[in-house]
Amino acid sequence: MGDRVSGRTIVAALLTVLAVSTMVGCDVLRRPRRVPADLIPVFQAAAAAYGGGLTPVQLAAQARVESKFNPRAVSHAGAQGIMQFLPSTWQEVGLDGNHDGRADPMDPQDAIPSAARYEARLASLVSGLPGDRISLILAAYNAGPDTVRAAGGIPDIGETRHYVAKVHSWAGTYAGQL
C-alpha cells in the first residue's frame, strides 16, 4: 500500500508542476513559450528585408512549428534546420544571410532570411487565390505552391491545415514579444 501512496504522490506532484508551468507559459517537456532572445533581431531584419511575406512574429511562430527553434533539426523527410528546408528548396532559395561565405540551412542567420525571401516569392505565387494571404503563404511553404494553386486555396490536406493553424496559434503567443 505504501507503494501506491507514493505513486499517487508522484503523479500528483507531476500534475501540479505541469499545471503551474502551463499557467506561467512554460512547456515543461520542451522549452519556455518565448522566442529565443538572440533570434529576435534576425526575425525582425528578415521580415523587414523581404516584405510581402510574413511579419517577424509570424516568422518566429513558423520556426517554432517547424523545429521548436532547433537549428540542428532534421526531419524524417530530410528537411534541415530551424526553418526545415528540403535540400532541393534550399539549393534554389538559400542565402548567405550572415555573409560568412557559406549559405547553410543549419545556420539561423542564413535560414531565417532565406525563409522570409522564399515566402515573399510564395506570396506572389498564391496572390490570386481566395482566402487569407498569410494562411495561403504558410500552406504553400508546407505543401508547395503548386499544390496550393491546384487546390485553388489551402489544400484539403490535414497536415497542411494543422500546420497553418499551429503557426497562427504560436503567432498569437509571440505577439507581445516581437
Q: E strand or H helix at 143, and its extent?
A: helix 133-143
In the chain, domain spans: 1-33, 34-174
pLDDT, residue 154, reads: 97
Q: Which residues, in sequence order, are bridge partners of residue 32?
A: 26
**pLDDT of res. 129:** 97
In angstroms, the CA 169 to CA 58 distance is 10
Instruction: Give the whole-angstrom CA distance, residue 123 versus residue 141.
Output: 10
Residues marked active site are found at: 66
Q: From the DSSP assignment, how many helices (H) and strands (E) are in the chain? A: 8, 0
Q: What is the pTM of this model?
A: 0.81
Question: CA-to-CA distance for 57 and 31, rounded, in angstroms?
Answer: 18
Domain 34-174: state its class: mainly alpha
Place of cell 501540479: 16
Residues of the chain with pLDDT under 70: 1-32
Which residue type does 100 have? D
Contact partners, residue 137, CB within 8 Å, separation at least 6: 53, 54, 119, 122, 123, 126
CB atoms within 10 A of CB 127: 11
